[in-house]
Every structure is written in C-alpha cells, then in structure tokens.
C-alpha cells in the first residue's frame, strides 16, 4: 500500500499504477483528500490517495492490452511515416505555446526602432492591466516589465520578494499563470507570451540544455533516441533545441497512454 500526492486524481491514479506496476483497473484506492485549484494556483490542495493493488480485478484482455501499450511506450520508436507528421504537429500545440521559449536568447530580441504603434499601445495597456491585477493580489513585486519580444509576442518579466510564490513547487503556478496570461493576450490582442519570473524560464532552459547533451550523444552514436518524460514548458524547450541541432531528422512529441509527453529523434521514412 502506498500514499500518492498529485495535482489531480487522474495523475494520482496514474502515478500509483506506475509505482505499483499494475493497471489503473487493478487499483484499490481510498481518497484521503480531493484536489482544489484555489485562486490562480494559490492556496490549492493536492489530491492525496492511498492505493493498493488487487490482481483479481484484471481480466486477460486488460493484461494483454496493458502489455501491448507498455511495449509500445518503452521500446525505441521506429521511423514515423510522413503522413503522421500532421498529427504530431497538432499534438505539439497542446504541450505549451511556442512563444513561451526562445530559440537562442534569454532576453527580448525584438529591438527594431519601427515597432508598430498598435503594438506599443498594446504593450502600454497590458502593463497597466498587469499592475492592476497584481496590486489586487497583494504580491510584493518590483515593477512589472512588459516589452516587445518580437512583432507577435510580448515579453513579461516579474521579479520581487514574492516572485517565488508565483512559480510554485516544480513550477506548477508558473505554468498556470502562463496559460492564463497567454489566453488573455491571445484572445484580446492576438499576441503570444514569453513569461519570465525571477529567471525561472532561463534556469529551465539551461537545465534542459544540460540534460539534452546526453540525448544528443545517443543520437550521434545510434542515429536515434528519445527523451525522458518532460512536462509543460520543458517539452517545448527541448523540442526547439533538438530541431535546431538535427534539422534533417524527424523530431516530434509523443504522448504515453497516461498523457505524459516525451520527444523522439529519428530518421525520416521516405
């Protein structure tokens, strides 16, 4: 019997199944605490369950299906046909908006003097509204900086004594705030977002690049590889890095049966 904490009950069930080495249908679960999102990711509660495995619940069909899925997930992925690329492109869109990460620089790169008047006006309005939002939330932050990252993206930087509270454990509050702000900017101004909070994004990019050094060694040696499970902004950072490093290879996001994401690097199958 094990105790699991996760942000959703679904994640808790999935994690319990992985740790116990069984399918979700074999679990006997007691919910100790139901999850609560709180406000903007603050004051939320995780799901807490106590789980054990009951092998008698497993049917032969479920066992066969589970074995096939595990074999598909664990084995190295063979070359994907070109007709699957459209599906992979759609899948990438749900990982994290690509404007959350940069291809090279950590600082805003859009420095043209001819910034459009419309974009300048939008930036001024966005900065005013962000100040109003965080004043209401009583966070101790320095001046909120908003600038043009490129012609379609704004760069928002938050620093201050309470910046860590906006990041949260393992970045889950950062991710929630990023999605909220992105949806607002995209729907109202048709703009993307690059959000930096106390160098969190910069540090994430650096950590992913260090991890990818080993992945690249495998690709250079074997011609193919796959990453570990990556979450949220990390999968988009890794995707850009790997596509830049291997422009002639097939680099795409894949999803496990539990909705977790990883990246494969392989040769094209013409």
With the C-alpha atoms ordered 119, 172, 244, 211, is the resulting torsion angle positive or negative?
Answer: positive
According to the model, what pLDDT value does residue 259 have? 81
d(CA 198, CA 127): 17
Residue 115, phi then psi, degrees to nearest 5: -60, 130
According to the model, what pLDDT value does residue 258 have? 81
According to the model, what pLDDT value does residue 155 have? 92
Domain boundary among 18, 53, 70: 70
Give the closest residue to 262 by CA, choosing from 223, 236, 224: 236
Asked if 198 and 264 sit in the same domain, the reply is: yes
Q: Look at the chain and report how many structural domains it folds into.
A: 2
Asked if 131 and 252 sit in the same domain, the reply is: yes
Asked if 34 and 161 sit in the same domain, the reply is: no
Asked if 154 and 248 sit in the same domain, the reply is: yes
Whole-model pTM: value is: 0.52
According to the model, what pLDDT value does residue 23 have? 73
**Grouped pLDDT means (10 residues each) for the chain, 270 residues:** 82 80 78 72 73 66 51 45 50 47 46 65 92 84 88 90 84 85 90 89 88 93 91 81 93 87 85
Asked if 40 and 104 sit in the same domain, the reply is: no
d(CA 67, CA 165): 42
According to the model, what pLDDT value does residue 38 have? 60
Edge-first strand order for the sheet with 153-158 is 145-150, 153-158, 192-197
d(CA 190, CA 91): 21
Domain boundary among 38, 70, 102: 70
Q: What is the CATH number of the domain that holds 191?
A: 3.30.300.20
* First-to-last C-alpha distance (Å) of the chain: 49
According to the model, what pLDDT value does residue 80 have? 46
Asked if 124 and 56 sit in the same domain, the reply is: no
Q: What is the largest CA-CA distance in the chain?
A: 69
Asked if residues 226 and 264 have their Cβ atoms less than 8 Å apart, the reply is yes
Domain that holds residue 56: 2-70
d(CA 159, CA 90): 34
Asked if 31 and 82 sit in the same domain, the reply is: no
As to burial, measured by CB atoms within 10 angstroms (0-12 exposed, 13-18 middle, 19+ buried), residue 231 is: middle
d(CA 215, CA 233): 18
Asked if 62 and 81 sit in the same domain, the reply is: no
Asked if 111 and 13 sit in the same domain, the reply is: no
Domain boundary among 25, 40, 70: 70
Asked if 169 and 35 sit in the same domain, the reply is: no
């Amino acid at each position: 019997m094990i105790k699991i904490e996760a942000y959703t009950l679904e994640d808790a069930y999935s994690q319990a199944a992985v740790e116990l080495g069984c399918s979700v249908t074999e679990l006997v679960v007691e919910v100790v605490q139901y999850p609560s999102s709180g406000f903007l990711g603050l004051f939320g509660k995780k799901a807490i369950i106590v789980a054990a495995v009951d092998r008698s619940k497993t049917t032969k069909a479920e066992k066969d299906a589970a074995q096939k899925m595990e074999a598909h997930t664990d084995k190295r992925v063979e070359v994907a046909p070109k007709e699957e690329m459209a599906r992979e492109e759609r899948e990438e869109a749900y990982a994290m908006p690509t404007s959350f990460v940069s291809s090279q620089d950590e600082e805003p790169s859009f420095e043209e003097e001819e910034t459009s008047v419309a974009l300048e006006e939008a930036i001024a309005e966005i900065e005013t509204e962000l100040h109003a939002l965080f004043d209401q939330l009583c966070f101790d932050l320095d001046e909120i900086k908003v600038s043009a990252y490129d012609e379609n993206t704004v760069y928002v930087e938050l620093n201050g004594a309470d910046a860590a509270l906006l990041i949260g454990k393992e970045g889950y509050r950062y991710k929630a705030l990023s999605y909220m702000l992105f949806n607002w900017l995209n729907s109202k101004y048709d703009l993307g977002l690059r959000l930096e909070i106390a160098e969190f994004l910069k540090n994430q990019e650096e950590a992913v690049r260090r991890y990818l050094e080993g992945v690249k060694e495998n690709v250079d040696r074997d011609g193919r590889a796959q990453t570990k499970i990556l979450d949220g902004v990390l999968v988009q950072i890794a995707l850009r890095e790997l596509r830049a490093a291997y422009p002639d290879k097939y680099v795409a996001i894949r999803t496990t049966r539990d909705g977790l994401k990883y990246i494969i690097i392989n040769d094209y199958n013409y």
